[in-house]
Chains A and B, each alone.
Chain A
């Protein structure tokens, strides 16, 4: 394993721990946040606040050219503006998120619980991703 594999593993572990502590991996908690008209639980607003504060600092370090690691690759951020793909894709994703309460990170992290529901959801999610790439003609086969 090279160094970037270890960095990704470590980052993933901290990310997964954050998803568990914040209860993002509990679909009931997520749906209670999305259910503004019901018994609304605003807890997940605080997940966003915590994540944005820390990540905001990381971006400042990055854009100021702070060389934390000389081996890091040159960052490329895909940007096509706010186009039709972005709008439709985001709306479609939201419907799926609202149906179950899983977005991609918590769904994959939930495989740790060996729940059949998480496996079914992740399998369907990967199929949906593959379907997109066939449709776009960018699939690897």
Chain B
């Protein structure tokens, strides 16, 4: 069971929006993480450097949080190896087929009222919720 943390969630969300806004206004690019990561696998000439720089930034951001005294010790991944591998494959394949994930569709798309992104977000939230329901309450006995 986790604690309800609306204020840190709001602040963190605001920073995610700020980061996406900076990339949009200063570079004219959409901060969709699955698109940025997927694009690294088939690099176009002249656009190579910024993608790994953004992804490295994500990692550095977590280190900055730790350096500022943020608690990272309580983070645990409950999933076993089969779930990690299958989940990773589905997330990779699905985000490329669907053209985005929680950042590209969920943040950048919904904030410009894109019907496509709103539909994608409703769909992946729903299938994620159903997956958790089945895993925890049907197969897992309500853990």
Name A99's contact: one of B5, B41, B74, B131 (CB within 8 Å): B131
- Nearest CB in chain A: distance from B79 CB, A: 4
Q: Mark A98-118, 1 if CB is under 8 A from B, else 0.
A: 111111110111111101011
Given A23-B5, A129-B96, decide whether A120 and B85 contact each other with a Cβ distance below 8 A. yes
Task: Say whether A112 contacts B17, CB under 8 Å.
Answer: no
| Interface residues, chain B, with chain A CB atoms under 8 Å away | 1-31, 33-34, 37-38, 41-43, 49-51, 53-66, 70, 72, 74-79, 81, 83-99, 101-103, 105-108, 110-112, 114-116, 119-121, 123-133, 135-137, 142
A interface majority secondary structure: helix
B interface majority secondary structure: helix
Specify which chain B residues have a CB less than 8 angstroms from the CB of A59 in the assembled complex: 24, 111-112
Specify which chain B residues have a CB less than 8 angstroms from the CB of A46 in the assembled complex: 6-7, 9-10, 13
A51 to B117, CA, bound (A): 15
Which of B58, B72, B115, B125 has the most A CB atoms < 10 Å from its CB? B58
Apart from the given pairs A62-B25, A74-B28, 18 other A-B contacts in the complex at a CB distance below 8 Å: A6-B53, A13-B60, A14-B61, A15-B20, A16-B60, A18-B13, A21-B70, A32-B2, A52-B107, A55-B24, A82-B119, A87-B123, A99-B87, A100-B91, A111-B59, A121-B91, A128-B89, A132-B38
Task: Say whether B50 contacts A5, CB under 8 Å.
Answer: yes
Given A28-B78, A112-B59, decide whether A7 and B92 contact each other with a Cβ distance below 8 A. no
Specify which chain A residues have a CB less than 8 angstroms from the CB of B79 in the assembled complex: 27, 99-101, 117
Q: What 5 pairs between A and B have smallest CB-CB spacing?
A: A12-B57, A16-B61, A89-B98, A128-B92, A22-B12
Task: Say whether B86 contacts A69, CB under 8 Å.
Answer: no
Task: Say whether B41 contacts A108, CB under 8 Å.
Answer: no
Q: Residue on A with the closest CB to B73?
A: A113
Interface bin, chain A = 35 or more
Task: Say whether B89 contacts A125, CB under 8 Å.
Answer: yes
| Interface residues, chain A, with chain B CB atoms under 8 Å away | 1-2, 4-29, 31-32, 34-39, 41-59, 61-63, 66, 68-69, 71-75, 77-82, 85-105, 107-113, 115, 117-118, 120-133, 138-140
Task: Say whether B58 contacts A103, CB under 8 Å.
Answer: no
Task: Say whether A54 contacts B18, CB under 8 Å.
Answer: yes
